Chains A and B, each alone.
Chain A
Amino acid sequence: MDTGVRAESPYEIVTNPGVDEKTLTVNSLRSIFSMRLKTWPDGTKIRVFVLSDDDELHQIFSKEKLNVFPYQLRSTWDRLVFSGTGQAPTKVNSNEEMLAKISSTPGAIGYLWKANINENVNVLEIK
Chain B
Amino acid sequence: MKMLMCSKLSNRLIGSGLRLIVRVATLSLLFSFSAHAQENTNSKPQPDADNPSIKRPLATELPAPANQPDTPEKKPGFVRSVIDRFRNNDLPGDLQIHGFVTQAYIATSDNNVFGGSDNGGSFGLTEAGLNASIRPLPRLQLSAQVLSRRAGAGNSGTPRLDYAVLDYRLYSQETNQLGIRVGRIKNPFGFYNETRDVAFTRPSILLPQSIYFDRTRNLGLSSDSVQLYSDTAVFDWGTLSTQFGVSLPIVNDKDTESSLLGGVRPGKLEREVGYIGRGIFETNDKRLRLGVSGIWLNTSYDPNHRLGDPIGPGALRFTPVIFSAQYNAERWTLTSEYAIRPFKYNNNFRVPALNGLDFIGESYYFQGEYRFTPKIEGILRYDALFIDRSDRDGSRWAAQNPARHGLEHSRFARDITVGLRWNVTPEFMLRAEFHHVNGTGWLSRLDNPVAKDTEENWNLYGIQASYRF
A interface, CB within 8 angstroms of B: 10-11, 18, 25, 27-28, 30-31, 36-39, 43-45, 47, 49, 52-54, 56-57, 67-69, 71-72, 74-76, 78-79, 81-88, 90-91, 93-96, 99-101, 103-108, 113-116, 118, 120
Contact = CB atoms under 8 A, between A and B. Distances in A.
B177 interface: yes
B335 to A, nearest CB: 12
Contacts of A45: 94, 135, 138
Nearest to B81: A93
Contacts of A25: 174
B76 A86 contact: no
Nearest to A103: B54
A11 B68 CA distance: 10
A89 to B, nearest CB: 9
Interface string B129-142: 10101010011010
B67 A113 contact: yes
Given A18-B44, A116-B68, 16 more contacts: A27-B233, A31-B174, A31-B175, A39-B169, A54-B374, A71-B374, A83-B194, A88-B98, A90-B96, A94-B73, A95-B68, A96-B58, A100-B49, A104-B46, A104-B48, A115-B63
Which of the listed residues B66, B129, B144 has the most CB atoms from chain A within 10 Å of its own CB?
B66
Given A44-B138, A100-B55, A83 B89 contact: no
A69 B286 CA distance: 9
Given A76-B286, A82-B194, A38 B133 contact: no
Interface in B9-53: 42-49
A105 B42 CA distance: 10
Contacts of A11: 67
A126 B185 CA distance: 36
Contact of B129 (A31, A39, A82, A100): A82
Given A85-B181, A113-B67, A115-B65, A69 B328 contact: yes
B214 to A, nearest CB: 17
Contacts of B188: 83
A96 B74 CA distance: 12
B172 interface: yes
Contacts of A54: 374, 426
B231 interface: yes
Given A96-B58, A105-B90, A115-B63, A39 B139 contact: yes
Interface in B192-221: 194-195, 197-198, 200-201
A75 B201 contact: yes
B284 A30 contact: yes
B285 interface: yes
A42 to B, nearest CB: 10
7 contacts: A37-B174, A68-B285, A71-B374, A85-B143, A85-B194, A95-B68, A104-B46
B373 to A, nearest CB: 11
Contacts of B64: 115
A113 B233 contact: no
A52 B427 CA distance: 11
Contacts of B54: 100, 103-104, 120
Contacts of A43: 138
Nearest to A25: B174
Q: Report the 8 A-B pairs with minimum CB-CB distance, sorted nearest first.
A: A115-B65, A83-B194, A10-B67, A84-B163, A84-B143, A106-B44, A104-B49, A82-B195
